């Protein structure tokens, strides 16, 4: 079967008016799949360029966060900047933004103005609470969305274990999930337009808290029908057992997920306790969940006698899902990630050789390495290419705009 090696979204052009994480993550997903993404930054650059560890005076994270995008500078608050945005919109299919609701309208760049410039434009709007409702005016970041959406509570510690607050996930999960929904919504709207011939503009409205809430499995309908609040379980799962983190003899932790009946029976054999699978307490998942503490104690007694590698050799031989808990060093050296180029090396002109996560999903016919066309570029790196070649501005006009501080 012949498979095209052309990027999937090569016919899509996206204008990013975002900053920080949610909108830039949305457009990175689209750019990684081949869309022509033009990222507009203020003349000083996106504030996220200053976040995280630095090397050679540059944010290392930016190498990934800004990759595959054409980056231009533009002060959209000024009237001339507004007109340039509309010039760009005329040549784009999608606009992505994550300002507080009403901010684009204050700049004269609301949905009506964008649709007038480019009929049929798809506008993705990512915000803390959405564009409507009593809280729409409030600002919000990923951590707020994670708390409002219920995830921060569920990700906490079981009651009476500690007085520490529920921990953060470690990354801006709420922003990234909202960005993914924004990308899905944009592609769905464009597909509808191109398959039906529809010409009307569409607004894709993504709220951080709603994006997080959508991940909570049965927590909401369970509460609605029974009045019961799903409680934090720490490292366990309240619907299936055994699935937990178990201590090893070197002080590290091993995750084991043997929550189906056949897998649990296999685990019992590996532990040298085949009769445990017939114990009335553990014969089915409902019983194992009810007696989770007793079961986890039995498994932990076994894992404490082994290193993670010793345990994994036995578990993997029995096809039982298990892994040690990876640090980023483990991720970087993992043979599976390496074999599939999910960990890959990118040449960054500012930083040299940098490890990047590969493009997700893997697409048949496309090379994960070459899908990363360039690392996050310097501020204004594509000004001339976009303003002169795409918009047709003369070098003199671009120089004038630079002199005025517009770009």
* 32-51 pLDDT per residue, tens: 999 999 999 999 999 999 99
- Superfamily for 13-214+337-403? Crotonobetainyl-coa:carnitine coa-transferase; domain 1 (3.40.50.10540)
Rounded-to-integer distance, Cα 235 and Cα 239, Å? 13
The predicted structure's pLDDT at residue 1: 63
pLDDT confidence of 4, banded at 50, 70, 90?
Answer: confident
The predicted structure's pLDDT at residue 5: 87
Element (H, E) at 27: helix 22-32
Q: What is the pLDDT of residues 51-86, one digit of tens each?
A: 999 999 999 999 999 999 999 999 999 999 999 999
203 beta partners: 123
**Residue whose tokens read 């274990």:** 161
Q: Where are the domains of the chain?
A: 13-214+337-403, 243-247+253-324
Lowest mean pLDDT across 2-6, 122-126, 250-254: 2-6
State the catalytic residue, choosing from 175, 205, 261, 369.
Answer: 175
Please give the CATH architecture assigned to the domain spanning 243-247+253-324: 2-Layer Sandwich (3.30)
Residue 38: which of 377, 403, 400, 406 has the closest Cα? 377
Q: What is the pLDDT of residues 229-284, one digit of tens each?
A: 999 999 999 999 999 999 999 999 999 999 999 999 999 999 999 999 999 999 99
- 111 three-state secondary structure: helix
For Cα atoms 222, 227, 229, give the angle at the middle one, nearest 5 degrees: 70
The end-to-end CA distance of the chain, in Å, is 48
The predicted structure's pLDDT at residue 3: 74
pTM reported for the whole predicted model: 0.96
Structure tokens, 122:
């798809």
Contact yes or no for 341/370 (Cβ under 8 A):
no
Residue length, the chain? 407
Q: List the alpha helices (DSSP H) in 159-213.
A: 173-196, 208-213
Does residue 296 have an active-site annotation? Answer: no
Residue 398: which of 36, 386, 90 has the closest Cα? 386
């Amino acid at each position: 079967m012949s498979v095209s090696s052309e990027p999937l979204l090569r016919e899509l052009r996206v204008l990013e008016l975002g900053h920080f994480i949610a909108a830039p993550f949305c457009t990175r997903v689209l750019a990684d799949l081949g869309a022509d993404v033009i990222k507009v930054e203020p003349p000083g650059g996106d504030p996220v360029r200053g976040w995280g560890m630095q090397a050679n005076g540059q944010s290392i994270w930016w190498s990934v966060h800004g990759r595959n995008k054409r980056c231009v500078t533009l002060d959209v608050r000024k009237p001339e900047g507004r007109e340039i945005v509309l010039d760009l919109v005329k040549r784009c299919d999608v606009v992505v933004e994550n300002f507080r609701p009403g901010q684009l309208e204050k700049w004269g760049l609301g949905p009506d103005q964008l649709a007038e410039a480019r009929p049929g434009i798809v506008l993705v709007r990512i915000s803390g609470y959405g564009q409507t409702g009593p809280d729409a005016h409030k600002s919000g970041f990923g951590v707020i969305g994670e708390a409002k959406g219920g995830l921060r509570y569920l990700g906490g510690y079981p009651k009476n274990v500690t007085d520490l607050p529920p921990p953060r996930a470690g990354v801006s999960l709420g922003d990234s999930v909202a960005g993914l929904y924004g990308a899905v919504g944009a592609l769905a709207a464009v597909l509808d337009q191109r398959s039906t011939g529809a010409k009307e503009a569409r607004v894709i409205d993504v709220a951080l808290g709603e994006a997080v809430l959508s991940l909570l499995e049965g927590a909401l309908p369970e509460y609605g029908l029974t009045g019961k609040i799903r409680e934090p379980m720490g490292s366990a799962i309240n619907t299936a057992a055994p699935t937990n983190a178990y201590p090893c003899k070197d002080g590290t932790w091993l995750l084991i997920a043997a929550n189906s009946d056949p897998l649990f029976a296999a685990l019992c054999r590996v532990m040298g306790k085949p009769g445990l699978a017939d114990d009335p307490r553990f014969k089915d998942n409902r019983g194992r969940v009810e007696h989770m503490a007793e079961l986890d104690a039995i498994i932990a007694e076994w894992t404490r006698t082994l290193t993670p590698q010793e345990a994994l050799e036995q578990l993997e031989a029995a096809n039982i899902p298990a892994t040690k808990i990876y640090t980023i060093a483990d991720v970087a050296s993992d043979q599976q990630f390496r074999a599939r180029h999910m960990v890959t090396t990118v040449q960054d002109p500012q930083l040299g050789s940098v490890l990047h996560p590969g493009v997700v999903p893997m697409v048949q016919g496309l090379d994960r390495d070459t899908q990363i066309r360039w690392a996050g570029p310097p501020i204004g790196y594509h000004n001339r290419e976009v303003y002169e070649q795409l918009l047709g501005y003369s070098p003199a006009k671009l120089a004038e705009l630079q002199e005025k501080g517009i770009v």
